[in-house]
Structure 1
Amino acid sequence: MRKYFLFLLGFLLSTSLPALATVQITSMSPDSAAPGDEITVTGGPFSNEIEVLLGEIRITPQAVSDRRLTFSLPELPPGQYLLRLAEQGRVSASPLLFRVTESEPRISSLQPVEVDVCDTDPPAQLTVEGQGFQSGSSLLIDGVTIGVEKISSDRITLTLPPLAPGTHQVQVANPAGSRSLPRGLLVNGTPVIFSTRIGADDVTTYALIIEGKNFLASSQLLVDGKRIPLVDRQPPGRESASLGDCRTIVYHRRPYSSQPKPITLKVINPGGRESAAVTIQAP
């Protein structure tokens, strides 16, 4: 109904203007295009005051010669429009039918292209750059629509939701259903140990604070090759570890001696991702 209304309105508007009998349109190329595309009209004679009348929209050509003009198609809803030429209140006879198609969104870059698991806690910002984005466009990660914060014709910004380690597919979908080709966003889930420090000490046990990144609730801590489970509550009389956050593991250690000795630590995440081994001196 809207397409028919726009078509009829353009026809009535154009026919309400006196005919510009001296100007002829012999061809246009292409006869269908998306917003932002360039259209060429031949015929003439054309003056520098000539305008393109597309439905009820007036467009100033980018370039005009005696027998040829070009213009860039503005943002318009998809549909069919009458194309005429207007000059000083007069309009050309014999309009041509022009079809506006939907722009296909295209992603040219992601910023950043890689984030750590820890970068989604707190959430990281993602900027999607490209072209053909519309005010009603949506962004999809692995086919799931994600809320966006800002959108323009060439940029979308959003806050990343929590994502599992691995490569995720980012797409932009326009209201009529066209989608961009996917771009890969890598979520790095490889754990890294930065440093250690001694925490609380209650005589028989003490807390060894392991600081780094990309620690998960499903991570495993290896101490001298022995697996120490990550638990929510420390079991009495046993060594254990707990997850502080994605950057901290607390290792509850029960040493048999207060003398420092070499201890080798490693963190292993699901999928076989593991940190480099780190050797420290601690009781």
Structure 2
Amino acid sequence: MNRNNVTSVTEFILLGIPLSYQLQILLFVVLSTCYVITLVGNTTIIVVSVLDAKLHTPMYFFLSNLALLDISFTSSIVPKVVYNLITGSRTITFHGCLAQSYVYFLLGTTEFLLLATMSFDRYVAICHPLRYSTIMKPKLCFKLIMSSWMGGFFDTIAQTIFTFRLPFCGSNIIDHYFCDVAPLLKLACGDTHYIEMMDLIMASSLVLGSLFFSMVSYGCIIFAISKISSVVGQKKTFSTCASHLTVVFIVYGSCIFMCIHPYKNSKIDLSKIVALLNCILTPLLNPFIYSFRNKTFKEALKRTMYRQKYFSNLKA
């Protein structure tokens, strides 16, 4: 059936999270503040990593890409949520919904692959330290980054195309605060069984596959650390990958919760809260987990700020 002859829906209404007016204002302030901090923190990582020569290493190259990914990921959702909270508008056009859904899942998928790539980087650094510079050459790092983005692109494009080719001729109310695929499929007039199965298989393969790769990498890392005789040496070595392991647990933990948490007929669906926290909390915490507690990065930040102040004085 031709979708153009069936679809009467030209825009959707995002139901969001039912809250009182006072709580909506509070949520607006919290989300706006977190969003600004996220932009500043992740932009700082990118700028300092580019300007400071001592940070031109594979680890900070991957971290800069993660920071760019986090900025894009949170920007695909939060500005629209904040706008809807302050204006009271809940509508989004059909094509706007298509774009938001695609960008959100593209960036989310890419993040899983990038975290797996960073696990490999930590594995090489700890298990093969003498060969690290030989293995993790700039060309390989670039290929790994491109593979993560291309993997996210191909994993998401088919899902998005098939979903939005479905006829939407009934209700246009999406029971979420953004254009998630699951509530969208509930609004479709056609058969969604094939798409749901395809989404489940592709999402499970990617999430569980990248998680398995990360866990194997960290299994090898833990085994290598256990062979270090000095307790101080063990702690120092493990500290180099503790930040990344923390982010892995946060990202995969929230994703698995949203997948297995059963729907409950409560006033507020807990999965919406977890999805919102995942969208804003992880990009917000990453700069603090990875960089602002890291001595090397803090020294690089000081050098960058000093040079900026020095050149500003020269211009004056």
TM-score between both structures, scaled by the size of structure 2 = 0.19
Which protein is richer in strand relative to its size?
1
Which protein is richer in helix relative to its size?
2
> Between Structure 1 and Structure 2, whose CA radius of gyration is higher?
1
Higher relative contact order (CA 8 A, sep 6+): 2
TM-score between both structures, scaled by the size of structure 1 = 0.20
